[in-house]
Amino acid sequence: MITFIGALILLLLGYALYSKFVERVFVINDANPTPAYTKRDNFDFVPMSWWKGSLIQLLNIAGLGPIYGAILGALYGPVAFIWIVIGCIFAGAVHDYFSGMLSMRHNGEQYPSVVGRYLGKNVQRFISVVSLVLMILVAAAFTAGPAQLIAQLTPLSFVAALLLIFGYFVLATVLPVNRIIGKIYPVFGAILLFMAFSIGAALLFSDRTIPNLTLSNLHPGDLPIWPLLMVTISCGAISGFHCTQSPIIARTMKKESDGRKIFYGAMITEGVIALIWAAAGMTFFNGTLGLQEALAAGGPSGVVNEISTTLLGTLGGILAILGVIILPITTGDTALRSSRMILSESLGKFWSMEGKGKVLLITLAVSVPALFLATIDYTFLWRYVGWTNQLVATVMLWTATIYLLKNKKLHWISGIPAMFMTAVVCTYIFYAPEGLGLPYGLSAAIGLSLTAAVLAWYIFQIIKHSRKTTEYHHDAA
């Protein structure tokens, strides 16, 4: 119990203190006009209040991610609390802040274009493909589950439910951001918060004891904490999907000072949600072995339903159904909206067609493969979402680091988490079954060797930009 409460306090302190420090490093200026005004088209670029932007951002980046991922991460025991707190404050929220603010500073540019500015065109081309693949996978993976539940609860077949959901996706993607997303997302965001906080309060006032911190690995399958926990709990700690979503809200910000509340704040809120569900997972079933048995019997959806119904009664059952159906759908639609925006930006130099026709064609181009993938095994899809997601996050952190280096600012705030995530993704791809499936020791050795090479590149970048500063002062003298 003490560990859980302490973790909550640390997350709140992270927002109150560290977010202001990050903001000072970035240096905001509310006198700068934002793209919401300079490029206003009442479609993607339209001013919105910060509180509405925060709730939309929260729902864009969260959905079921900080619920399902946190429950699966709870299999490792209370050590998951450490990753959520440290990952969220020093990596995830920094990642989200820079992805949103750099997009805003560059006229609402999409994530790959921002990457290209600081890491080069080759990296931009690579990450454009990876980002599109990630978002199509997310849209597919987050649609199959709700469609199956709708088919169970209504006369609709799975295929009919799938088509209904994708019909909504297309509508939400081609209409102005304030038409559907701006109106219903704040409501759904409030439902997500109410659901999590209700579970948290019920846990605190129940006779169940939330376990305190132990560094032991309690995973029943004896899977290694590093790097698997860092990929299992992504939403709630750090997630590359977020940097593909931030430009949606960056195009609606009224002033630069809103960025801390919207981007850093939404990530901290997501961390709180993940913390609550991780605690619920390892507490409700009397330990990680009981949680594993519950997951084997009903999957994450069954676990969410059982916890919600038992702790909150009928209300909990309603919230669980709403959550399992609505929340992943609201992640899928913005995934496709971001896909449409990235593809439009990438094709802008080669395709002169403008207007609603182009928007619809590009929307269909990303929706059709997502619809097809949604018909195959969900677990197969999800295995490939994890590593791709964290690879995108790592590239965003390096983008922020080079931006800070070029502007003679404190680059360590993104450089250190970038190095850590580089080690995670380099080791994971060699060890994981969806990767090369090599022995753990060999995977760690290869991963750390690759990380050392990246560290050498980082040191070279520091020296190079230091020399530029010295040369500039010498020439000025």
For 120-161, write each residue's pLDDT tens digit.
999 999 998 888 888 888 787 777 778 877 887 788 888 898
pLDDT score recorded for residue 474:
45
CA pair distance 452, 459, nearest whole angstrom: 10
> Is 90 exceeded by the pLDDT of residue 194?
no
> Is 90 exceeded by the pLDDT of residue 335?
no
Read off the pTM.
0.90
Q: How many CB atoms lie within 10 A of CB 38?
A: 11
User: Between residues 87 and 208, which one has the greater pLDDT?
Assistant: 87
Please check whether residue 231 is in contact with residue 392, taking contact to mean a CB–CB distance below 8 angstroms. no
Q: Is residue 88 part of a domain?
A: yes
Q: Tokens 């081609």 map to which residue?
A: 174
Distances (CA, A) of 21 to 17, 27, 161, 264, 397: 7, 10, 46, 11, 17
Position 476 confidence tier, pLDDT thresholds 50, 70, 90: very low
Position 377 confidence tier, pLDDT thresholds 50, 70, 90: low
Q: Is residue 247 part of a domain?
A: yes
Please check whether residue 199 is in contact with residue 307, taking contact to mean a CB–CB distance below 8 angstroms. yes
Q: How many CB atoms lie within 10 A of CB 120?
A: 12
pLDDT average, residue stretch 439-444: 96
pLDDT score recorded for residue 311:
87
Q: Is residue 290 part of a domain?
A: yes
- Give the up-direction half-sphere exposure of residue 196: CA atoms within 13 A in the CB hemisphere: 27
Q: How many domains does the chain have?
A: 1
**Residue 207's domain spans which residues?**
2-383
Q: Is residue 57 part of a domain?
A: yes
Give the list of residues 6+ apart from residue 87 with CB closer than 8 angstroms, or none. 230, 233, 236, 237, 238, 271
Please check whether residue 6 is in contact with residue 85, taking contact to mean a CB–CB distance below 8 angstroms. no
> Is 60 exceeded by the pLDDT of residue 471?
no
Position 477 confidence tier, pLDDT thresholds 50, 70, 90: very low
When mean pLDDT is compared across 143-147, 252-256, 283-287, the lowest value belongs to: 143-147
> Is 50 exceeded by the pLDDT of residue 54?
yes
User: Between residues 56 and 429, which one has the greater pLDDT?
Assistant: 429
Average per-residue pLDDT for the chain: 87
Q: Is residue 129 part of a domain?
A: yes
- Give the up-direction half-sphere exposure of residue 357: CA atoms within 13 A in the CB hemisphere: 4
> Is 90 exceeded by the pLDDT of residue 291?
yes
pLDDT average, residue stretch 164-189: 80
Q: What is the widest separation between alpha-carbon atoms in the chain? A: 79
Nearest one of 274, 226, 213 to 88, comparing CA atoms: 274
Q: Is residue 468 part of a domain?
A: no
pLDDT average, residue stretch 73-95: 96
Helical spans, DSSP H, in 241-355: 241-250, 258-259, 265-284, 288-347
Q: Is residue 392 part of a domain?
A: no
User: Between residues 332 and 376, which one has the greater pLDDT?
Assistant: 332
Helical spans, DSSP H, in 62-157: 65-73, 79-87, 93-105, 111-119, 121-153
CATH code at position 13: 1.20.1740.10
Position 350 confidence tier, pLDDT thresholds 50, 70, 90: low
pLDDT average, residue stretch 362-382: 72
> Is 80 exceeded by the pLDDT of residue 367?
no
pLDDT score recorded for residue 85:
97
Q: Is residue 422 part of a domain?
A: no
